Amino acid sequence: MKRRDFLKLAGAATLAGCATRGGAGKARVVVIGAGFGGATAAKYVAMWDPGIQVTVVERGTAFISCPISNLVLGGNRTIEDITRGYDGLRKHGVQVVNAEALAVDTEKRTVALASGGTLAYDRLVLSPGIDFLYGDIAGYQGAEPRVLHAWKAGPQTVELRRQLEALPDGGVYLLAVPVAPYRCPPGPYERACQVANYFKRAKPRSKVLVLDANPDVTSKGPLFKRAWEELYPGIIEYHPNSKVVAVDAATMSVRTDFDTVKGDVLNVVPPHRAGDIALKAGVITTSNRWCDVDWRTLESKAVKGIHVLGDATLSAGGMPKSGHMANAHGKVCAAALVELLNGREPNPNPVMTNTCYSFVSDREVIHVASVHQYDAAQNNIVPVKGAGGVSAARSELEGAYAWSWARNIWADMLG
């Protein structure tokens, strides 16, 4: 070993040594949440540097994908189709702990688990997804489970599908969309398509009523509206500027600022914020909702040594809260962690991409895509001008690509 290299290593070892407690030789990364962000970060750290010990804390026993979950509501895919196990992560040497993270001690650098016991970390990655601001909609909590959000794929997805199947022909499905920013900007409009697709096939007299708190469709607007007109004439009714402020399960109605509207199935998505553990760890920085990060490393701007990924982040300009984006966050964070824990400087110019596919029918798809590069002058990550865009038109070819995207990204994060 050359003297210069040895000194470099010794320097790095000191750095890692300082942060390493309990005398263990390996640097320890703990990841909370094995969704699109967390699973990706865990896999890529383990893959890129097997010398780092990676532990993932996940309360679910399997991964259930939000992307594609609207197709379960439309009856075009099953919940099994969108469920994957965590064994692939274990093959990369990642330790997967099936537990709920209860608290983070940022001084001692430990995570307390609900099942008892603690995990020590040198770097902590929080990819907690979202939790809901139920208080923003009067009566919401009393109205569950008759009123559902199904905005986290899982039991609510299955239950909402059951409600749709039980709906008589001629019934009304009501979908309430929160003010942006929210998880998956095109998601509500894809959901309207999927439910309409099901109604057209099975309950042609039924209606889809969309109450959108936003002034217009927030993503791929012209493409969605064209699909609604051409594929589902008379089925989808869209109301912008219609923020739901209260729900009542007894009368099966919702209240907006102007009106009371009834439905037979009420699917109300409340506004949300970064998941609970982000709140407990003290990394929420903005509007009591989101976590601001340094986009070169995804390190929290509030607490050193904690990195935040995915929907929980204060999204940079032009960056959607999407699974694909969280996957990109996971990789940039993993690359930075490997450099930092080896005493090197992280890449100052990371690149991220995003492609969000939406199924407007059982086979036809539209997309929105973007590329984001770190700009040192702006000290931020920004969309590359002239890059990205939306589909020219909906197509079955993109339907094939969309389903391919799902299988590849699931394998990329978990396989």
Stretch that binds another protein, among 12-20, 113-121, 131-139, 158-166 (CB under 8 A): 12-20
Ramachandran sector of residue 372 (left: φ over 0; alpha: ψ -120 to 50; beta: rest): beta
Q: Least distance from C-beta 398 to another protein, angstroms?
A: 5
How far apart are the C-alpha atoms of 346 and 45, rounded to whole Å?
13
Please report whether residue 10 would count as binding another protein according to CB under 8 A: yes
C-alpha closest to that of 95 among 31, 51, 37: 31
Please report whether residue 298 would count as binding another protein according to CB under 8 A: no
Cis peptide bond N-terminal to 145, omega within 30:
yes
| Nearer Cβ to another protein (206/327) | 327
* Binders of another protein in range 381-400 (CB under 8 A): 384, 386-389, 391, 395, 397-398, 400
C-alpha closest to that of 236 among 260, 212, 255, 218: 212
Q: Least distance from C-beta 367 to another protein, angstroms?
A: 6
* 3 state DSSP class of 347: coil
* Binders of another protein in range 319-348 (CB under 8 A): 324, 327-328, 331-332, 335, 338-339, 342-343, 347
Stretch that binds another protein, among 122-130, 183-191, 219-227, 379-387 (CB under 8 A): 379-387
How far apart are the C-alpha atoms of 162 and 116, rounded to whole Å?
36
* Binders of another protein in range 236-255 (CB under 8 A): none
- What is the bridge-based pairing of β-strands 351-359 and 365-375? antiparallel
Look up tokens 């969280």; give the residue.
Answer: 326
Q: Considering Cα of 21, then 22, then 23, then 26, what sign does the dihedral take? A: negative
- What is the bridge-based pairing of β-strands 236-239 and 207-212? parallel
| Nearer Cβ to another protein (25/317) | 25
| Nearer Cβ to another protein (23/168) | 23
Binding site for another protein (CB under 8 A): 1, 6, 9-10, 12-14, 16-17, 20, 23, 25-26, 43-44, 47-52, 324, 327-328, 331-332, 335, 338-339, 342-343, 347, 350-353, 355, 367, 369-373, 384, 386-389, 391, 395, 397-398, 400-401, 403-405, 407-409, 411-412, 415
